Structure formats: structure tokens, C-alpha cells
Amino acid sequence: MINKKEIHTGNFEWDGTDAWIICSYTNMLFKYEFLNAEYRFVAPLPENGIAHYDFHSKCVKYKMKVFCLPNRGNNIYIYDLAINKFRKIDLQNLDGNRINLDKLEVKDHILYTVSYGMKQIIIIDLEAEKIINRYSITECDCTLYKAIKCGDIVYAISNEKGILWQCDLKRSIVKKINLLNDSGNEECGFTTIACVKEQLWLSGYNNKIYIFNRQKEILEKYIELPDDLGIYDFINSNSIYKNKDKNDFYFYDCIAVDNTVWFIPYQANKILYVKTTDNVIREFYIDEEEETDYSLNRVVKRKYEIVKKDNEGQFVLKSYKNSCYYIIDTTDQTMKIRLNNVSYLNLEKIWKEYGIYNTIFLEEIAVDNIMYSYEIVNDVRRNGLNEKTSIGSKIYSYICS
């Protein structure tokens, strides 16, 4: 059942005063007022289905408009704050793939996005409210994990081990870079990517953080992960974490802020960051984030999620263990503020009003089944894993293979 006391979202879209969010459980648009520490209901999104979960979970605020990006939904919905009405942009998802649209960058009035499901870069004019260009990253039968925009180039990683996709937006050229061609590189797969000037920072398997030289197009160095890095046993709710293994991946995301790169754990026990000036790994500790057998029994089987990065050396980190948000200042490596996931005063009234108070959501099954695309599940089944094992366990086994 839905947790009626909380709002869950894929990102915080700050406008300087408040944050705009979509409740991913209910497909509703909210505004979070920092001054009052309260959620204010704005509107339900028009598109829904049997289960509301993750139809839309991220948004972009532009002037008096909020662009709602689809995950399992089919359209971008634009909420016009001047007239309190929605308009839509049809993404023309002809193959019916899960769209999973994410923001790469907003530059002037142009929004750069990536659809991990359609494997496309989609560029939108926020003033005209229309798609002005789109690029196919790859036609291969793979699953895109992450993408970043560095100037006029978008880099993407997928479940293809050792492969980096490079899309030059200025020249309209897509290039596949095989990192395994470099002599001395053992087979490696990547799950996170960040850009600092002429370097890409990648993490994945083999207990390493890799540094990719964008000019030479090679992996020029790597950094070994600490020996005390381990993984919590979310499957069996055992808080005694296992030691690292080269077949494990530790980080769900990474983010570059100025001259530091932050690595956010998936099911691992530590947040790590590296200063690019010395390439030394350091731990960032947050009180009350050690897992217990009880906390590991939660629905969302991971530690954190980055929900916002600003231009002042800060980012917002969501804690799934404590159901709160941390504002991290990277300039002095401190946690500035902890924001509890405040209950909206009339939340239950809204649930009832829109007929979803007792709705069963997809959170009832393993959230890994939601967070990773259906292609992964299909691949797992094709690989013939034990059908009696839970879907979550199958996906976990697949990712760590």
C-alpha cells in the first residue's frame, strides 16, 4: 500500500524559493515550500493507468511552466501556472518502450534530455513547447544506464561491458568506443559516469574507478577502491555487509561538482568522493545511515538517490533509509541541512479525493523491477535463472554477473 505520510519523487526542481516535484507513487505535481517545510498540492497529471507508480517522476521548471518528464508514461506534460492547465508534447514512442526520460541540461530555453528506454537524445524548445531535434544513440539490443552532456557531446554507458557511446550533437555523429581495445585493460563494465573538464570518471565492476581521457579516447588510469568497502545484504535483510568482490558494483550514481567527484552507493556502505587535484578517495560520513536488519527490509532496496545539483557547489541527496533529504556542500565537504520528508497536512484527503487511497502500487513487488527496465528482466529470463527466485534477486544476480 502507499505510504500516506510521505511523498516520493525522482528530483527536486528548485526555482530559487521553492521546489517542484512529482510524487512518483501517485503521478501528482506538488510544490515544496522551504519556508514552511510543507508540501502544497498543485494538480494530478492527466496520464494514468492501472498502477500510477512512476508514470512521471521528474520535472523541469521554466518561467511559469513545469515540464513533467515521463518514465512509464508516454508524454511530456506541461503545467501552465498562469492558467492552471496542462498541455502535452507527444514523444512518438512508436515501439512502446518504457521512455524513462531524464534531464541532461537546460541551456537558455533549450532542454536536452535522454530517453534511456528509446535510447535517444531528445532536444526540446521550452518556449515553443516542441521537439526540435532527436538523435538515436544506438540501435543495439542493450540497456542504457546513464548519460551525461559535456559541452556539445553526450556520453552514455549501457550493459555492454567496456562500451562507451559518444554522440556529437554539433556534427550529428554517433560513435561507439570500445575501451577493451586498450592493452592491459581487463574486462570492465560501467554503471556510473561523470565529466570533469577533459576527463570522464567511470565506476562499475573490478573494484576500480576509471578515468577516461576524452581527447585521446582511452582509459588513462584507475583508482583502487578501499578494502573496507562492502555491500549490505538487502535480499536477506542482513546488516552484516559482505566484503567487496570484483563482480559487484557499488555505486548507483556519481556526480561531478567543481573539482570533486562524488560516488553514491547502490547497496554499499559508504559514500566516497575524490578530489581531481590529487585523485585520493575519501569517505563522506553521515550520522544514522548505518543499516540495520530492520531498515534493510524496506521496499526500496538501495541507499540513496541524487535528486538535485545546483550551481553553488551543493547537491541534494535522498536517503531511503531515513526517508529524508540531505543538502551536501562540496566546497567544504559537509552536510548543511537535513530535510525530513514532511507529511503534507491534507495528504490523506487528497488520496481519498482522487480515489487512490487504497490503491495497490507496483512498490508491492521488488523495486528493482521498477528501477531497471523490462529489458533487463527479459535478459535474466533468457539466461535461465531459477524461476522460483524473486524478480529482485534475479535482477540483482544479473547486474552483478
The per-residue DSSP string of 249-276 comes to --EEEEEEETTEEEEEESSBS-EEEEET
* Residue 378 dihedral angles phi and psi, to the nearest 5°: -65, -40
Phi, psi of 78 (to 5 degrees): -110, 115
What mean pLDDT comes out for the span 138-157? 91
Q: 369: Cβ–Cβ under 8 A, 6 or more apart, which residues?
A: 362, 377, 391, 392, 395
- φ and ψ of 118, to 5 deg: -85, -10
- 3-state SS of 16-83 is CCEEEEEECCCCEEEEEECCCCEEEEEEECCCCCCCCCCCEEEEEEECCEEEEEECCCCEEEEEECCC
Q: Which of 27-41, 179-193, 208-222, 324-338 has the lowest mean pLDDT?
A: 179-193
**Residue recorded with cell 521548471:** 61
pLDDT in the model for residue 386: 38
Q: So what's the pLDDT on residue 351?
A: 67
- Indicate if the pLDDT at residue 51 is higher than 90: no
Q: What are phi and psi of 351, to 5 degrees?
A: -55, -45
Check if the beta carbon of residue 128 is closer than 8 Å to that of residue 178: no
pLDDT > 90? residue 379: no
Residue 272: the pLDDT is: 97
182 pLDDT band, cuts 50/70/90, is low
CA distance 192 to 186: 18
Write the CA distances from 399 to 145, 204, 395, integer angstroms. 11, 10, 6
Helix pair 391-399, 374-382: axis angle to 10 deg: 80
- Please classify residue 367 by burial: count the beta carbons closer than 10 Å to its beta carbon, then call 0-12 exposed, 13-18 middle and 19+ buried: buried
Cβ neighbours for 18, distance < 8 A, ≥ 6 positions apart: 31, 32, 33, 34
Share of the chain above pLDDT 90, in %: 44
Q: Quote the CA–CA distance of 315 and 154 in Å, as a whole number.
A: 22
Could you tell me which of 214, 220, 182, 215 has the C-alpha nearest to residue 200? 214
pLDDT of residue 372: 34
Strands 85-90 and 163-168: unpaired
The 8-class DSSP code of residue 160 comes to: S
**Pairing state of beta strands 334-340 and 199-204?**
unpaired
Find the helix or strand (DSSP H, E) in which 166 lies: strand 163-168
| Mean pLDDT, range 93-104, rounded to an integer | 90
Judged by average pLDDT, the poorest of 117-121, 165-169, 234-238 is 234-238
Domains in the chain with CATH codes: 182-332 (2.120.10.60)
The reported pLDDT for the residue numbered 183 is 47
Mean pLDDT to the nearest integer, 2-19 = 71
Ranges of beta strands (E only) in 207-257 are 208-213, 218-224, 230-233, 238-243, 251-257
The residue among 192, 219, 372 whose CA lies nearest residue 273 is 192
CB 45 within 8 A of CB 86: yes
pLDDT tens profile 317-366: 989 888 888 989 999 999 988 877 655 455 666 667 766 654 444 333 33
**Residue 388 pLDDT > 50, yes or no?**
no
Hey, what's the cell of 57?
Answer: 517522476
CB within 8 A of 107, min separation 6: which ones?
none
pLDDT band at 123 (very low <50, low <70, confident <90, very high): very high
Instruction: State pTM to two decimals.
Output: 0.82
What is residue 377's predicted lDDT score, i.e. its pLDDT?
Answer: 34
- From CA 353, how far away is CA 71, in angstroms rounded? 25
Q: Which residue has the higher pLDDT, 307 or 280?
A: 280
d(CA 171, CA 173): 5
